[in-house]
Amino acid sequence: MLITYDYAYSFFRVGSIILAIHDARDVFMEAAKVFNILEENVVQAMEELDQWKEQLLHLWSLAEEKLRQVPPVQLYAAAAVLVFTTLLLLSLRLLKRAKSNTIVLTGLSGAGKTVLFYQLRDGSIHGGTVTSMEPNEETFVLHSETTEKRKTKPVHVVDVPGHSRLRPKLDEYLPRAAGIVFVVDALDFLPNCRSASEYLYDILTKGSVVKKKIPLLILCNKTDKVTAHTKEFIRRQMEKEIDKLRASRSAISAADIKNEFTLGVPGEPFSFTQCYNKVTTADASGLTGEISQLEQFIREYVKP
Ligand SMILES: Nc1nc2c(ncn2[C@@H]2O[C@H](COP(=O)(O)OP(=O)(O)O)[C@@H](O)[C@H]2O)c(=O)[nH]1
Ligand SMILES: [Mg+2]
């Protein structure tokens, strides 16, 4: 872009400004070196500094002269392009470094995490599922995006088994997560409501989740079956269950401070809207591949 502009607005003039700015920068680099010498020999350094000052002034007058020859419009255009490109490059670099692309799939065993993992990766389920005892993790471009022409950013998906012995594993992944997907079995929901709510409560009160405000999606899976509960029902039931948990947990917390944060507003019935992080609900069917709401959540927090 800089080169195009340069060419459009007579190459050598703008080029000479950049050269002048570049040379002026060298002076600062040298000044930094001079600072080192300063510690050993102050007097000598002062002399050198004076020399550099002279050269700087000379360069400045040179640059001023050159700048005066260039029409103001060209000057502004060149300056604007320079500032704009620098800012753009800087912000791109910062964004790249800061953004995580990890999505953590969690929830009780049998909720359908592993099936969802394969649907996201392959768009199909490998011949049946195995009861995994190790977290399944991989970085890939979502299957539904593999046919797109434009380049998309790969997502690092971790499927952490819900087995209670493996729950400490979750602590390794949560701090790095861009988003958490809490998978709930909508078919067999009621018998598991309490344990699912306890698990969710533990996640929502973790310091790493609260401080970083990691968004969480409650994904009601297995909606291909007509007897599956609705996401509204599941949300309400879990809110009620967490409300009960809140009372019992705060009663024992004096002896066993396990949860780093408390949830909700004291004296008010618990609602997910009171959470520090954003909690939303969605439907899915890992079995039939209806995972568009899940993919939407992923792409909201892991930009393509
Ligand atoms: N009907 C139905 N069954 C599902 C669905 N997703 C998973 N299952 C079944 O639920 C069981 C547990 O799935 P799995 O992915 O292993 O659960 P995980 O323990 O959370 O990883 C398997 O028998 C799957 O076939 C779904 O969307 N619909
Ligand atoms: Mg699994």
Closest atom of ligand 1 relative to the 225 alpha carbon: 1
Give the residue range(s) of CATH 3.40.50.300 domains in the chain: 99-301
287 in ligand 1 pocket by Cβ < 6 Å?
A: yes
225 in ligand 1 pocket by Cβ < 6 Å?
A: yes
- DSSP structural state of residue 287: T
Closest atom of ligand 1 relative to the 108 alpha carbon: 20
* Rounded-to-integer distance, Cα 120 and Cα 114, Å: 10
SS3 283: strand
The pLDDT tens digits of the residues spanning 141-165 come to: 898 888 777 778 899 999 988 777 7
What is the distance in angstroms between the CA of the first residue and the CA of the last residue of the chain? 24
**What element of type H or E holds 224?**
none
Dihedral of alpha carbons 203, 204, 208, 214, sign: positive
pLDDT category at 264 given cuts 50, 70, 90 is confident
Q: pTM score, two decimals?
A: 0.69
The pLDDT tens digits of the residues spanning 100-154 come to: 899 999 999 999 999 999 999 989 887 555 656 677 888 998 988 887 777 788 9
Mean per-residue pLDDT over the chain, rounded? 82
* Rounded-to-integer distance, Cα 120 and Cα 3, Å: 42
CATH superfamily of the domain spanning 99-301 = P-loop containing nucleotide triphosphate hydrolases (3.40.50.300)
221 in ligand 1 pocket by Cβ < 6 Å?
A: yes
The pLDDT tens digits of the residues spanning 32-88 come to: 665 565 567 667 878 888 898 999 999 988 888 887 887 778 878 878 888 888 888
The pLDDT tens digits of the residues spanning 177-230 come to: 999 999 999 999 999 999 999 999 999 999 989 999 999 999 999 999 999 999
Closest atom of ligand 1 relative to the 286 alpha carbon: 27
